[in-house]
Structure 1
Amino acid sequence: MNAATLLTRLYPPAVRERWGEDIRHEVSASGIRSWPDTLVGAARLWLHPGDWPETGTGQTRRVLTVALFALTATTGLLLRSAEPSTTLTADIRHPSTSLWLAPLLLGIALAAPLPPLRGEALRRLTAVAVHTLAAPAAAVVALCLMAWSGMADHLAGFADAAAVLYYWLTLGFVALRLCTLVARVARTAPLPSTRRLSAALLYIGTGLALAASQNLLAALRTVPHPGSLAETLALGLLAAATISAGHDMRRKRA
């Protein structure tokens, strides 16, 4: 795969389908000097879903639904990569440090594609879920068995590094397959309306902004740690991007 094709794939699906060949040809002809503008153009379009062409009914809503769950999975992996923190918790016994979860979970609920609660639809959903999640479930079971056996406590050197790598690959695999499940369900289930999606984007963005703010306030009270600052910056960027897309969808609805 050459650089022009790779850069073109960074654009939203509808844009690729409508103008992908033109973009690829232009990037290929212009060479490396066009790469920064191409990256900026892709990022700008992801922040303005209201500008996407509709090459299929509900395409924009379907892509945004999957993107929201991918964003949530990325956030989970980001927070898991940091050391356990008292700044951001997910515990009802610590409401002040768990406040950021409330708008985020509300946004996820609003964005979820919900199939009809009827026998045939539920059977199809169950079959799709089993087919999609069987492999990651097996990987998680193997990880849990390793932890429960106490084997991980006695590993060293290469074996310990391999166990850590397996742990992170498992988390990434689970996140990927969950997003795949949402994409497959979204093909047949009724999609959330534009109004619901714009609200979901704004709620999730608000949750991420709260998380970034809590991290920043905690860092200002103590000696800043590079890992915490990087996490705060990443959360802030994700929040800004999500809120921007939410406002753009609201403008489209208006």
Structure 2
Amino acid sequence: MSLVARSLVRLYPDAFRERWGSMVEDEARGAGWKSWPNLIAGIADMWLHPAHWPADSPAQRQRRVATMGITVALTAWFLSHLAAEQAGPLPADGVREWVTHGCTTLLLLGIALVAPRPRPTFNAALTLLGWAVRRLAAPTALGTAAVVLVHGGLDADASPPTLRTAVLAAWWTALGLGAIQIPRIFTGVGADAVVPPGTGRLRAGVRTLAAASATGGATILGLSVTSGGFHPLGAAIGAGLLALTAVCAGTLRDLRDLPPAPSSSTARP
């Protein structure tokens, strides 16, 4: 039982574990298996509220919220793109284009607002480039291989079904890995490479992401249950986008309690 408790505690964010990990593990070990549901709920709650993690400065909290915003945006883009590629949930070409382009435009705007700003130094650019190469090398190689095969003469009708399935799986795996790895770039680089957005810009960006998730999710979910029968995949994607809207709402609530970062005139050198 102690092994299970220790494994669950390891799923908490590093900042949480460094400060309270040993205490939580001791309490869980004493309570036994009865503590597991609370541990799992606590893990989910902490990852959904990065502004509550222990931090050395308000700027560090802002950078964590920015990373959460980027994660939400890329997840919403992946889900809306997946829905647009399916013929069932979105049968109308006009609706498919609106979901693809409309949501993508809002998500790009949201990312532009919440993304940390690179510092205008050579060392900062080199640091960001190094993290990007390490995190995105695998999904880029996988996606490039799929594109080369498709545009290099892969016949959808004459090719073996196994090959077509492998290429399709490689493409979606590349997109999924990219959506996972891009936020990890911003969690890896430090304050010497990027400047987090201010609280006002964070609020505007998260509201934009919430609007994108809400409109896309409501559209996909509505069409999945009313357009030519029930489409389980479309309904699941729509529900997932609406869940991301709830995440954005929780983040906005956390931002109201986020301490303001010190101004440049009062900050110590």
Pairwise same-fold verdict (TM > 0.5): yes
Instruction: Tell me which moved more, 170-179 or 188-197.
Output: 170-179
Residues 31-86 of structure 1, C-alpha deviations (whole Å, 9 max, x = no match): 33222222222333344444332246633222222222222232233334444368
Residues 119-145 of structure 1, C-alpha deviations (whole Å, 9 max, x = no match): 554455445434543443332221111
Q: State whether structure 2 residue 237 is matched by structure 1 residue 196.
A: no
Select 2:173's aligned residue among 169, 174, 192. 169
Checking the alignment, whether the CA contact within 8 Å between 2:146 and 2:168 is kept in structure 1 is: no
Q: CA RMSD in A?
A: 3.4
Instruction: Tell me which moved more, 142-151 or 195-204.
Output: 195-204
Checking the alignment, whether the CA contact within 8 Å between 1:88 and 1:97 is kept in structure 2 is: no
Q: State whether structure 2 residue 63 is matched by structure 1 residue 62.
A: yes
TM-score by length of 2: 0.76
**In 2, Cα distance between equivalents of 1:241 and 1:69:** 12
**In 1, Cα distance between equivalents of 2:63 and 2:196:** 7
**In 2, Cα distance between equivalents of 1:198 and 1:171:** 27
Partner of 2:55: helix, strand, or coil? coil
Checking the alignment, whether the CA contact within 8 Å between 2:58 and 2:258 is kept in structure 1 is: no
> 2:147: which partner in 1?
144
> 2:248: which partner in 1?
242
Partner of 1:54: helix, strand, or coil? coil
Residues 205-228 of structure 1, C-alpha deviations (whole Å, 9 max, x = no match): 221111111123323532221111
> 1:225: which partner in 2?
231
Report the AA paired with residue 171 of structure 1.
Answer: L
Checking the alignment, whether the CA contact within 8 Å between 1:48 and 1:244 is kept in structure 2 is: yes
Gaps of 5+ in 1: none
Report the AA paired with residue 136 of structure 1.
Answer: P
Residues 192-243 of structure 1, C-alpha deviations (whole Å, 9 max, x = no match): 1233223322221221111111123323532221111111111111110121
Gaps of 5+ in 2: 261-269
Partner of 2:12: helix, strand, or coil? coil
Residues 83-132 of structure 1, C-alpha deviations (whole Å, 9 max, x = no match): 4368599x9x9558744444432221111111234555445544543454
Equivalent pairs counted in the alignment come to 253
Partner of 2:86: helix, strand, or coil? coil
Residues 151-181 of structure 1, C-alpha deviations (whole Å, 9 max, x = no match): 3630234x44443433333223322332233
Checking the alignment, whether the CA contact within 8 Å between 2:224 and 2:232 is kept in structure 1 is: no
Give the percent of matched residue pairs that are identical in Structure 1 and Structure 2.
30
